[in-house]
Chain A
């Protein structure tokens, strides 16, 4: 297993390199001069040339990439054009907000998804199963940004129970939590459908295996069988949950825009519309790194949890 882990870690390095290359390229596929948003409209040629040298845009692409990567490795992602603050600082602050939202959403989504999926798989082809399947289809089909709007309409505009936008951190932890409910519930729908689908298939499959029949034959109670099923389904279900957390971290932009949640999605939105390319590049890089590392962790944890996985 150690050999597998070592190989898995080594295999991640070229992926990380590729991911940073894509992020680097983002600035260069952007139309127009990358300096256009820094330069004043009446900039002289000398100033343009000086800035070009300062930002290193006069060098060859490979040279620029190596320099950019070297700085990024030291935690320097450049300076935001819009705010003038270091990109790293801006991104890390936003990641905190997104992470809290995504964790709560994953917890809600996993709990209900696993519950629905388990009941559906246990009582296969029953009414409950059909209902759970319907819920999971709805969960993966719903445009979540629209669901967010609908929740705001119901709980903020009509009922007035919960705040529609912002994070409300000035009001203390209770206010913060109240602000987090609607975006987190909206976000939880995505993993809920996927977890329900996975757990249903897992449970239905496990229940058909010989060892379950054996357990029942030796007279084990339903609760005892239930424990065995959970134990067998857990590694895969947890892996799915881990991956979903990664998707939510990277995919929160639409939901954060709906709720004006001050996370990475909101930052990304601002970066795109202010043509703040260093900020765009930095945010994408950090989110993609999170995703790659989370994938690695999920693989490692799953291998450790599930002795049946033989990874040569």
Chain B
């Protein structure tokens, strides 16, 4: 936080002195769209955490007699799937794996990518060139292709899908981290700290980190929506979670055969992915404008 205080001195003092994050929160609070999106995400997370209490039935209990019941059948508010399992319960439980698979790679990539990017940006020179050229290579693959190629080669499975998605996002985050760090490194306050005898680690820890993590964080949040779509997409292809675990992408895949029998039922898991993805996109947009002090 010391870094923010220093920055505040350099700029004309605002009418009422507030911390940087307090300002972000104040601006975010005035953005009804971002708040709405945040509430939707909070509800989804609560739904995932408390799934056993919220869901009316066991998401794994199959019944050959009750297959593909339409939406609104007695006992099956959202119908039943191709194995007679309760759709509503599966959608609720599906939030667990889907959110986990969508968010985890971005969190992992945030730490790894920031580390690589800040190192490259702070050290500069040859190390920077070496790191950034390596990252360019991974950048040369479209995200979907790289994710499918890696998890296809590694083989189906939850762990492999998470690794592949993390590898997809690390270069993207590292690029942003490098750009921001290079920018911050040249600022006067870093120069001043160096002149007053601060060591490299102290400068990175106190002055660089405090100023670069914000923008990297905003960028990372904007990736969650993409990550959700990609993660469920891998499951949709059969490369992520395995049956019978409820996961929205996988459910969409297994219900594909049912589109002529129960068309709207088959589309339901996608609605959940869509809602989640929109909410994360809108929240990321709101966060970006709230953190952009220039606006």
Contact = CB atoms under 8 A, between A and B. Distances in A.
B270 A253 contact: no
B148 interface: yes
A295 B140 CA distance: 9
A268 B137 contact: no
B145 A149 contact: no
Nearest to A16: B140
Interface string A14-31: 110011011100110111
Interface string B78-102: 0000000000000000000000000
Contacts of B237: 253-254, 257, 269, 272
Contacts of B134: 18
Contacts of A287: 142, 145
Contact of A246 (B142, B239, B273): B142
A153 B154 contact: no
A148 to B, nearest CB: 10
B281 A137 contact: yes
A253 B140 contact: no
Interface stretch (A53-61, A74-82, A138-146, A207-215): A138-146
A22 B137 contact: yes
Contacts of B274: 141-143, 146
Contact of B154 (A29, A157, A284, A295): A29
Interface string A247-277: 1011101100110000000001101110001
A251, A257, A292 interface centre (most CB from chain B within 10 Å): A251
A19 B140 contact: yes
A8 B136 CA distance: 14
A131 to B, nearest CB: 14
Contact of B263 (A15, A137, A153): A153
> Interface SS of chain B: helix, strand, loop or mixed?
helix
A280 interface: yes
Contact of A140 (B141, B143, B232, B281): B281
B137 A19 contact: yes
Interface stretch (B48-56, B173-181, B204-212, B252-260): B252-260
B140 A149 contact: no
A288 interface: yes
Interface string B271-295: 1011001100110010000000000
B122 interface: no
B266 A153 contact: yes
Given A149-B259, A250-B144, A18 B137 contact: yes
B235 to A, nearest CB: 11
Size class of the contact patch on chain B: 35 or more
B66 to A, nearest CB: 22
A251 B259 contact: no
B138 interface: yes
A272 B152 contact: yes
Nearest to A152: B259
A30 B136 contact: no
Contacts of A27: 153
B59 interface: no
Contact of A138 (B141, B239, B263, B278): B278
A158 interface: yes
Nearest to B138: A22
Interface in B160-209: none
A141 B277 contact: yes
Given A15-B137, A22-B138, A157-B260, A141 B153 contact: no
Contacts of B140: 15, 18-19, 288, 291-292, 295
A181 to B, nearest CB: 18
Given A141-B278, A143-B277, A149-B252, A251 B264 contact: no
A150 interface: yes
B270 A14 contact: no
B152 A143 contact: no
Nearest to A22: B137
20 contacts: A19-B141, A22-B138, A26-B150, A29-B153, A140-B281, A141-B281, A143-B229, A144-B229, A145-B233, A146-B267, A146-B274, A150-B267, A153-B267, A157-B260, A250-B141, A250-B142, A250-B145, A254-B144, A271-B152, A291-B145
Given A146-B273, A246-B142, 6 more contacts: A18-B134, A22-B137, A30-B153, A146-B252, A269-B237, A272-B239
Q: Top 10 A-B pairs ranked by shortest CB distance?
A: A146-B270, A18-B137, A250-B142, A251-B144, A250-B145, A272-B152, A153-B263, A141-B277, A141-B278, A26-B153
Interface of A: 14-15, 18-19, 21-23, 26-27, 29-31, 137-138, 140-147, 149-150, 152-153, 157-158, 246-247, 249-251, 253-254, 257-258, 268-269, 271-273, 277, 280, 284, 287-288, 291-292, 295
